[in-house]
Structure 1
């Protein structure tokens, strides 16, 4: 048996520190008992992790991003092995890319374990390289060490027979010369590249919130010279995957909060931008929300359903709640569209007559701008109101009143108080989602 080396000790220390941190987090505020403590013994935890690692899979392309109910195969492709097309694609990531993980969310701690870095590389990388010092750090028993190395290494595995699913998007691509000949078509299944989406998301976030770009943006706004380039992504649309449970799609999707940006591929005068600009001079953004995306169609669908006098049963309640939720979920998308097409502080414009709670909702990054000379009281009040966090309730009440009014206009005699409050609660959940309130509040005392 090989004697432990300094590298083995380094691996063992890193692994032990991770397990201890997991134990401390589990027992925080609780008295340690023998049963719980034993689960976090070095060998015991590793044995359990080696057993659970089969419940998750490292991937680059996620099937559930196409449809949350898809039960087919997600795939793992090293970007450097893909064809180098001229167009932007996963291949441009090279060897610098983030691996995603799908599977049982309860086993994601195993992935965090395999991401521990020693000598600048992850444990997963050392395992895939068959590092003997790491094997000895896992277990002094060669058979056990080899078994665990193999189990952990299979986090990245290829499907021997990839499987599609009826909810996965598929299309027939004509590969021959005769469109009328079924034999000239190839059935394709597009897969969502989560690794590429993560890289795009990181770049956009850095452009929007990174200190260097914020300084360059401020210099541009003040017509001052800057040593750095000013980057801006305009006309963005935020596609939300996973609803209130983005972790059900994948680990990276959860880290993005479900946000997946779509770049504008339309002519310069995009309708959404016109909607955003028209808010100046308007009395309420919720009135503009009526004409956003599928909102009018959804409201009409809800009204027609209620006017049909459906029986008061569980099926009716489920269908109604489904339509209401679809309407509510358009609120954060509408807000993200407005924020993406405007620079922070646009609500300072004297032509902006929106109520304060809508300004706070649609221009949250204004809280990070310097307070203006001559507007100290106004700007400080905006910041205080934002962190006081009463505005989501005001917005919810406004949304409930708006939807109730639309239903009455459609022919319902009244939507009723219970419905109003239901709409308000739904609005609170959906309207708060795109604003990282806890994150922002965490930086204040």
Structure 2
């Protein structure tokens, strides 16, 4: 009489429940089909599963995801054993990764069986640890049980000689110094990391359909407060693998319905400050038109003036608001350049900007020690900054630039006093009192 420990009985019950579930799904309520029922007898099904397990293989990197007709090797590489690079990759998954299955799709039920959990771990994991209670639960015959344990454990196996295929993607990578020498290249075959793709898919699905993001989107629609975070992936593209039969690629691909997300791979959106030339130009105002909202504000102002509005309070207030907005853009324009450049950049021989623009855009230069060979020039720069009349000159440049832009739209006579005032005020508010007082000797601006 077979005597099992309590723990072995738990394994036996879990295995029996799985096999019975498969049988019931196959019979679909027709309990009179004895031939089908016989195949799902405990020992008969396990023996068949142990035979069929060699038709599938546990992997992390799937070849068929590259091309469905590829017949080469897929690999099982535990992420924790991969080189730990700074870049994002499979190595970041650590111990928490999903193993994929490739091979005969008709044998995928064997993997589902091995995923059955007992005490929080898969049967497959217990088999790899040669668990004695699990082995006893498989069969009363010790030799048969051991054979089945070894067969099921072979789900992860390394090929002695990995094989590529004509349908696999390959590339030549230069490993030497001479690109004209064919011997200096290494032939590489990139493999699709199904484990990483599955993790990315799960994160994106959670962002798109997760409860937390649903609540955040609902709060936005209702214009109500939401105490939480919101995640979004924009510019996604879906790559369908396997067509109508995603299981032919792999098990995880089938679970995803063949959906594999591609993140946006687009040219970077350059910061405006990166495109503002400060060397080899006579004025930075050549770039001001392309800064942030300047073009839109300029268009709105010219449209207002060209419409010849009535000289009433509403017209004056609208014109003042646009002038102030342009002045604020000028202050932000200056700040973006100061943020993007290292202090002292205006000392460069190729800097041809007027002195007032150098003072405006390179104020931290005064905190640098004067250069021995240019001491007089640097001292003059510091004195001019402390004198503090450069905002007037910048405002004058702004007014001249603005009038030139408005003249291009067909306006012939435009006063510049208002624009000069708004520009100077914006610059002084953003750059003047605090910074000037901070830098001026004795606290006098």
TM-score normalised by the chain length of structure 2: 0.59
Q: How big is each residue's C-alpha offset from its partner over 1:250-301, in whole Å with a ceiling of 9 and x where there is no partner?
A: 11111111110000121367xxxxxxxxxxxxxxxxxxxxxxxxxxxxxxxx
Quote the offset at 1:60 in angstroms.
Answer: 0.5
Residue equivalent to 1:24: 24
Residue equivalent to 2:91: 91
1:224 match: secondary structure: coil
Residue equivalent to 2:239: 239
Quote the offset at 1:45 in angstroms.
Answer: 0.5
Q: How big is each residue's C-alpha offset from its partner over 1:38-78, in whole Å with a ceiling of 9 and x where there is no partner?
A: 11110000000000001000110000000000000000011
Q: Distance between the aligned counterparts of 1:182 and 1:5, measured in 2? A: 64
Task: Describe how 1:151-162 pairs up with structure 2 within 5 A.
Answer: 151-162=151-162
- The alpha-carbon distance between structure 1 residues 6 and 102, as it changes in their structure 2 partners (threshold 3 A), is same
1:29 match: secondary structure: coil
Q: Distance between the aligned counterparts of 1:88 and 1:124, measured in 2? A: 29
2:70 match: secondary structure: coil
Q: How big is each residue's C-alpha offset from its partner over 1:118-162, in whole Å with a ceiling of 9 and x where there is no partner?
A: 000000000000000000000111100110000000011111110
Contact 2:31 2:37 in 1 (8 A): no
Q: Distance between the aligned counterparts of 2:81 and 2:32, measured in 1? A: 49
1:102 match: secondary structure: strand
Q: Distance between the aligned counterparts of 1:268 and 1:166, measured in 2? A: 35
Q: Distance between the aligned counterparts of 2:43 and 2:90, measured in 1? A: 38
Task: Describe how 1:327-338 pairs up with structure 2 within 5 A.
Answer: none
Structure 2 unaligned blocks of 5 or more = 270-445
Q: Distance between the aligned counterparts of 1:38 and 1:127, measured in 2? A: 26
Residue equivalent to 2:141: 141
Quote the offset at 1:36 in angstroms.
Answer: 1.8
Q: Distance between the aligned counterparts of 1:199 and 1:91, measured in 2? A: 12
Q: Distance between the aligned counterparts of 2:222 and 2:63, measured in 1? A: 46
Task: Describe how 1:36-435 pairs up with structure 2 within 5 A.
Answer: 36-267=36-267
Q: Distance between the aligned counterparts of 1:268 and 1:258, measured in 2? A: 29
Quote the offset at 1:3 in angstroms.
Answer: 4.6
Quote the offset at 1:212 in angstroms.
Answer: 1.1
Q: Distance between the aligned counterparts of 1:176 and 1:95, measured in 2? A: 35
Q: Report how many aligned residue pairs link the two structures.
A: 270
Q: How big is each residue's C-alpha offset from its partner over 1:328-381, in whole Å with a ceiling of 9 and x where there is no partner?
A: xxxxxxxxxxxxxxxxxxxxxxxxxxxxxxxxxxxxxxxxxxxxxxxxxxxxxx
Quote the offset at 1:2 in angstroms.
Answer: 9.3
Residue equivalent to 1:8: 8
Q: Distance between the aligned counterparts of 1:31 and 1:163, measured in 2? A: 46
Contact 2:100 2:194 in 1 (8 A): yes
Structure whose alpha-carbon radius of gyration is higher: 2
Q: How big is each residue's C-alpha offset from its partner over 1:204-237, in whole Å with a ceiling of 9 and x where there is no partner?
A: 0010001111111222344432222000000001
1:134 match: secondary structure: helix
- The alpha-carbon distance between structure 1 residues 224 and 267, as it changes in their structure 2 partners (threshold 3 A), is farther
Let me know the Cα RMSD of the aligned residues: 1.6
Structure 1 unaligned blocks of 5 or more = 270-445
1:172 match: secondary structure: strand
Q: Distance between the aligned counterparts of 1:159 and 1:121, measured in 2? A: 26
Residue equivalent to 1:343: none
Q: Distance between the aligned counterparts of 1:261 and 1:201, measured in 2? A: 7
Q: Distance between the aligned counterparts of 1:265 and 1:105, measured in 2? A: 33
1:58 match: secondary structure: strand
Q: Distance between the aligned counterparts of 1:165 and 1:236, measured in 2? A: 30
2:226 match: secondary structure: coil
- The alpha-carbon distance between structure 1 residues 42 and 2, as it changes in their structure 2 partners (threshold 3 A), is closer
